Structure 1
Amino acid sequence: MSDTPVQTSATVLTVRQVQDYHAMTLVAPAIAERFRPGQFVAVAVGGEHTARLVRRCFGVHQVQSDYGGTVEVVFADTEPGTGWLAGRRSRDQLDLLGPLGRPFRLPRDPVTCLLAAGGPGGAAIFALADTLLRRGCQVHFVLAGPSARQVFGSRMAQRIGDSATVVTEDGSLGEKGTMRDVLPRVVQETGADVVYACGPTGLLRSVTQIAGEFGLPSQVSVEEFLQRTGACGIGVCMTCMLPVHGEDGVTRMVRACADGPVLRGDRVRWGDLGTIPFDALGAPRVLSVTEGGSK
């Protein structure tokens, strides 16, 4: 099996509505056999003669062996590109590139894993769960969203997980509250050794902070950076940059697609997202009057 991504013509098997989201299953054996949890695929949108040049990137919900190998992605219809995808039908062909990005790092021995997720991007946590369960790990889920219709996979989490906690801001499913409200309790109840997270940036930031308070390592998928307006998926367009500090303490601007999407949560400078911190390596400097040569 090669780690090299492939570009292929994938056949749409099904497109189904799941709460507020769309789940699309694609027949793509070459991608399915290379995939590792945490990686993503980039889909060309708009058809052969479209002016939409930038692909749409999605984490992979699950990979199956059916039809030689299928890949399922979950997305929200939020803009013209995803709207076009939502309108695809069985047997349509899509140009698909993948698997892309760095996957989750897996534990060497069976440990207790806490998987936190929210939004359509949270669907990618289930591919990780399958792998962890096969390795003998305990898997505990915490799923969060504004309402029941925006929580993906609650029944699946209850079926395959050692435990599953669901929290919604309006109380329409599970407990009423947010990820921040319930995660500390679940960490204590489960005795988690490591925390993994997929979903909106705000959720990732909360998960990372809480994991740090308990002294736990966290790995997060910053896939939302790839979904804002579309991205190339291969590190060329530079639209998915974010500041991360390394082992040497130096902050560098990294690409979510090529250097992620999975990153150590404690390495991301959550408070500086959307900016280039002044102390980042290679950051532009503001010249002083003296440096500028003015008298």
Structure 2
Amino acid sequence: MSSINRFSSRMIATVVSNKRVGQYHQILLNVGEMVNTCKPGNFVAIRVGGDNAKMILRRAFAISRVSLTGPYGGSMELIVAPFGQGSKWLCAQAEGSEIDLIAPLGTAFGIPTEPVRALLVGGGYGSAPLFGLAEVLKNRGCRVDMYLGASTGGKIYAPMEGKRSVNVLKIYTEDGSMGERGRVTEPIAGLISEGLVDVIYSCGPMPMLRAISDIVAGSDVVHQCAVEESMACGVGICMTCVLPVTDADGNVSMKRSCIDGPVMNGANVAWELVGKIPEAHL
């Protein structure tokens, strides 16, 4: 494995809780001392389908948060949408089931050494990792505001939990069914112009991440985003999760989201080339 995953290990974890929360499942795994190496932005690769499954590759899931307290000891929380075959299998696992996983994987969000004004922007259930991040930032003395967005209110994950983690929580839905009507990215330009934001942490659909990067461009605000590319293996082998990234000299190369990400500097992603092959690689 890459040195970025030097703290990762494989283990058999036990499902201690599996609760339906709106359209999603909140799954709690007993992972023991593994929580000591997990950071906000890391993900886990899970072997899905059971021993007789045809799904050979593991599935990657963002780690929502970890905890050393509580009745289960070291626990890892996952927020899973039962959409694909692998995620449906995971959501169907009962308490006491055993899960084969590798964690922690990928790059984590950078945590400032001094207090800053942080804006956390989440789209749909992609916002789940931001709750654990908010707790870390608050413990560092940062002001933390969170903006959550989705097409409809049913896709906003645990809004009440967000209120407990941040200074200000705002919700935006495109159909106006919860919070304010509109896109979650709309107020960001005004916040930046008023000097109310130092760093933006984002997690959600790729169009949302690109929109934030476009808004931030030309300002002093740093944008750390957890990219949403499909990760078939999670450990840098299969090359299915590559993204075009620009280096300091302006050269574009394809980077693996699972190794060089999922957390990246939004300013470095060549968003206009996502889904395409850069000319340098033709």
Same fold (TM over 0.5): yes
Aligned position for 1:254: 255
Q: 1:69 aligns with which of 69, 74, 83?
A: 74
Aligned position for 2:26: 23
Per-residue deviation at 1:37?
Answer: 1.1
Per-residue deviation at 1:17?
Answer: 1.3
Aligned position for 1:40: 43
Deviations 1:118-155 (A, max 9, x none): 12222111121111111111100010001111011321
* Cα distance change, pair 216–271 in 1 and its aligned pair in 2 (3 A): same
Cα contact 1:122–1:199 (8 A) shared by 2: yes
Deviations 1:230-284 (A, max 9, x none): 51110001110010001121111000001111000010011111111103xxx12
Deviations 1:165-200 (A, max 9, x none): 110011111000002323223445671111110111
Cα contact 1:56–1:81 (8 A) shared by 2: yes
Aligned position for 2:151: 146
Aligned position for 2:236: 235
* Cα distance change, pair 145–175 in 1 and its aligned pair in 2 (3 A): same
Cα contact 2:14–2:31 (8 A) shared by 1: yes
Give the partner amino acid of 2:242: M
C-alpha separation in 2, matches of 1:232 and 1:213: 36
C-alpha separation in 2, matches of 1:189 and 1:82: 42
CA RMSD of aligned residues (A): 1.5
Give the partner amino acid of 1:45: V
Per-residue deviation at 1:111?
Answer: 0.7
Per-residue deviation at 1:162?
Answer: 1.0
C-alpha separation in 1, matches of 2:18 and 2:190: 37
Cα contact 1:104–1:262 (8 A) shared by 2: yes
Give the partner amino acid of 1:28: V
* Cα distance change, pair 14–186 in 1 and its aligned pair in 2 (3 A): farther
Cα contact 1:44–1:56 (8 A) shared by 2: yes
Runs of at least 4 residues off by over 3 Å = 185-190
C-alpha separation in 2, matches of 1:185 and 1:155: 25
C-alpha separation in 2, matches of 1:79 and 1:191: 39
C-alpha separation in 2, matches of 1:8 and 1:170: 43
Aligned position for 1:219: 224
Give the partner amino acid of 2:13: A
Aligned residue pairs, count = 276
Aligned position for 1:49: 52
Match status 1:131 vs 2:136: yes
C-alpha separation in 2, matches of 1:260 and 1:94: 24
Q: Secondary structure at the match of 2:248?
A: coil
Deviations 1:22-71 (A, max 9, x none): 11111012421210111111111000121101111111111111322100
C-alpha separation in 1, matches of 2:49 and 2:165: 36
C-alpha separation in 2, matches of 1:235 and 1:275: 20
Match status 1:164 vs 2:172: no
Cα contact 1:58–1:121 (8 A) shared by 2: no
Gaps of 5+ in 2: none
Q: Percent identity, aligned pairs only?
A: 36
Structure with max Cα Rg: 1
Q: Secondary structure at the match of 1:179?
A: coil
Aligned position for 1:275: 276
C-alpha separation in 2, matches of 1:186 and 1:15: 38
Aligned position for 2:15: 12
C-alpha separation in 2, matches of 1:170 and 1:5: 41
